[in-house]
Chain A
Amino acid sequence: GAVVSQHPSRVICKSGTSVKIECRSLDFQATTMFWYRQFPKQSLMLMATSNEGSKATYEQGVEKDKFLINHASLTLSTLTVTSAHPEDSSFYICSARSLAGGEADTQYFGPGTRLTVL
């Protein structure tokens, strides 16, 4: 149990386009999901906390108008990178808190989405 999926796994886009990344909890419900970003050879840095049915909470320095987060259901959160630029190229990983599936109160991570902006 406690599987989190992300789609797409890899995306290459032109500068100026928008990219949507989906994060799904497959076998459990998640009221809270987190979005992290990882640049090459660096650690994961939290971008935002996504709460079902309410606005996301963004970390300092993360532009909420650029990184749109929607958590419309208990199993799906989406991150849209609007007007992507090369500096947005990164590995984006979501996590979801498991209430019951797997080990309770543990966050399980999706497989990540590698975004390359040309």
Chain B
Amino acid sequence: AQKVTQAQTEISVVEKEDVTLDCVYETRDTTYYLFWYKQPPSGELVFLIRRNSFDEQNEISGRYSWNFQKSTSSFNFTITASQVVDSAVYFCARALSGNTPLVFGKGTRLSVIA
């Protein structure tokens, strides 16, 4: 199976610090989709972003930004000026299309300390 690797198991930062969550994926396909989801303690998965393989533009949404680098097969996620409410487990995932299941990384548990 083509894996998604999130090397950072747990990260702790102090509030207002910037933090980057790494994601590296394996794929032999030219077309694929990458995702980031947030899972707060309640358990629900919150969709953050979807990026297709043909769109390497970086994206910024408020305090969130994503850096997609096909050359290194990475799709990293940065939270700027972190807040306590950002504390959650963040999952990076890959899919071939909307009809195919997601392959998830193991997740990175982010703790933001006040």
Partners in one complex: yes
Interface residues of A (CB under 8 A from B): 32, 34, 36, 42-46, 49, 91, 93, 95, 97-99, 103-112, 114
Q: Is the CB of A32 within 8 A of B47?
A: no
Closest to A95 in B: B102
Q: Which residues, 86 to 114 on B, are CB-close (under 8 Å) to A?
A: 91, 95, 97-99, 101-107
Q: Is the CB of A106 within 8 A of B91?
A: no
Report which of B50, B99, B107 forms a contact with A43, defined as CB distance below 8 A. Answer: B107
Q: Is the CB of A43 within 8 A of B104?
A: yes
Which residues in B have their C-beta under 8 angstroms from that of A106? 35, 47, 50, 98
Closest CB in chain A relative to B3 CB, distance in Å? 11
Number of A-B contacts (CB under 8 A): 55
A32 and B98 alpha carbons, distance in the complex (Å): 9
A107 and B93 alpha carbons, distance in the complex (Å): 11
Question: CB of B44 within 8 A of chain A?
Answer: yes
Q: B interface, how many residues as a size bin?
A: 20 to 34
Q: Which residues, 41 to 86 on B, are CB-close (under 8 Å) to A?
A: 42-45, 47, 50
Q: Is the CB of B98 within 8 A of A109?
A: no
A108 and B98 alpha carbons, distance in the complex (Å): 10
From known contacts A44-B104, A46-B101, A97-B98, infer whether A112 and B43 are also in contact, taking CB-CB under 8 Å.
Answer: yes
Q: Is the CB of B101 within 8 A of A49?
A: yes
Q: Is the CB of B99 within 8 A of A97?
A: yes
From known contacts A32-B99, A103-B50, A106-B50, infer whether A111 and B44 are also in contact, taking CB-CB under 8 Å.
Answer: yes
A27 and B55 alpha carbons, distance in the complex (Å): 28
A98 and B47 alpha carbons, distance in the complex (Å): 13
From known contacts A43-B106, A44-B104, A105-B33, infer whether A111 and B43 are also in contact, taking CB-CB under 8 Å.
Answer: yes
Which residues in B have their C-beta under 8 angstroms from that of A93? 43, 45
Q: Is the CB of A109 within 8 A of B45?
A: yes
Which residues in A have their C-beta under 8 angstroms from that of B97? 105
Closest to B6 in A: A43
A115 and B105 alpha carbons, distance in the complex (Å): 23
